[in-house]
Chains A and B, each alone.
Chain A
Amino acid sequence: MKRLTCMFILLASTLLHPVFAQEYVEATPAQRRQMQEQIAEATSRLSSLACDFEQTKEIAIMNEKMQSSGRMFYRRENCVRWEYTTPYAYTFIYNNNRIAMQTEAGRSVIDVRSNALFQSIVKIMISSMNGSGMTDNKSFTPRFYIDGSGRRMVSLTPVQKDVRKMFALIRLYFDGKDHSVETVVMEEPNGDATHIRLTNKRINEKIDDSRFTVD
């Protein structure tokens, strides 16, 4: 009986180990410092990022999921282009405090300097790409997590009240090799969540200015 019990415990811990290995636990102070240094170094080396993305939006109240995909371009002077290609065409460009939004119906251009909320949204987008949000304590409260296999995650809680009405929490999952952002999860106060996975990343390639033209 004792032998059977021991075998059961051994088998259970072997089967359960992979599950525990995927759980994130809060980083120790030393681990947090290491993460901050590695991500900061990766951010400082990042002058541009081009990638594809896949997005899944979960609507809690309606038990719905929506998939979309597209391409994203980022350049260090805070130029961003999000381009949805499936299942709809929509392009968002941010450049020098101006935003252009292009749909099939037309194009709108606005200046974000007069709107603190829009500025926060852009900051979140840029932080999601280069991880810079974890040092921006005026905008976010960061917490650092690590799992059993060494994968890193940073959660960002917005500081500003108006932004918290839109995002309860943002989680950035980092690539274990190059410490770049791999997945972004945005959780809303109403229970909805948006998962964005960045794939086919091309780092520090030249990106033409025309990608970021607002007018």
Chain B
Amino acid sequence: MKRSTIAALLWTSLATAPALLLPSCAGQTRLQSTEPLHIERFSRYKTDIATPQARMSGIIFLQQSEGGWTGRMLNEFGLGMFDFSVRRGKCKLSNMMPMIDKWYIRRTVAGDLGYLLGEGNDGRMSKGHAIERRHGGGFIMTNTRRRITYTFHPIRQ
């Protein structure tokens, strides 16, 4: 097994782009164009990122600043997975954990987070993404082209 296999397993679905049904779960509503997500200025989310082949999880710390957002995703042990900043819907990733530092992961995650913290947070819909609310302030974002779901549960301390 090659060294990049674990990362490849996480993101194999990026090589294919079939149109698929969106995931649906009881207790969720699809956001309409007039319903902003209202992510809080300082927030923490338990986050799961799932592809059909693999999954990774951790905690995302988000902070709204002038003109955009900064954030960090850590795994549950507290190890940094990546940092990101979003300005006008464009996301830049940095300090990626070596295991996931692949161009196709960067491109996809940056695109998805850029949408979430840009148009998605403002309530604007996108052809390639869907957002559904969950009970308790959480939500699920789906990259419909790549079949990747991002699940966010707020952590309140």
Contact = CB atoms under 8 A, between A and B. Distances in A.
Nearest to B3: A115
Contacts of B72: 59, 61-62
Given A66-B157, A190-B80, A194-B77, A105 B98 contact: no
Contact of A67 (B70, B151, B157): B157
A105 B58 CA distance: 12
Interface stretch (B13-21, B44-52, B112-120): B44-52
Nearest to A166: B79
Nearest to B54: A108
A88 interface: yes
Interface in A181-197: 186, 188, 190, 192, 194
Nearest to A161: B98
Nearest to A186: B78
Contact of A114 (B3, B44, B50, B151): B3
Nearest to A194: B78
A92 B99 CA distance: 18
Interface of A: 55, 57, 59, 61-62, 64, 66-68, 82, 84, 87-88, 90, 92, 101, 103-106, 108, 110-111, 113-118, 121, 162, 165-166, 186, 188, 190, 192, 194
A199 B57 CA distance: 26
B48 A105 contact: yes
8 contacts: A59-B61, A62-B72, A88-B153, A90-B76, A105-B48, A108-B55, A190-B95, A194-B79
A57 B77 CA distance: 9
A90 B59 CA distance: 11
A110 B70 contact: no
Contact of A116 (B3, B70, B78): B3
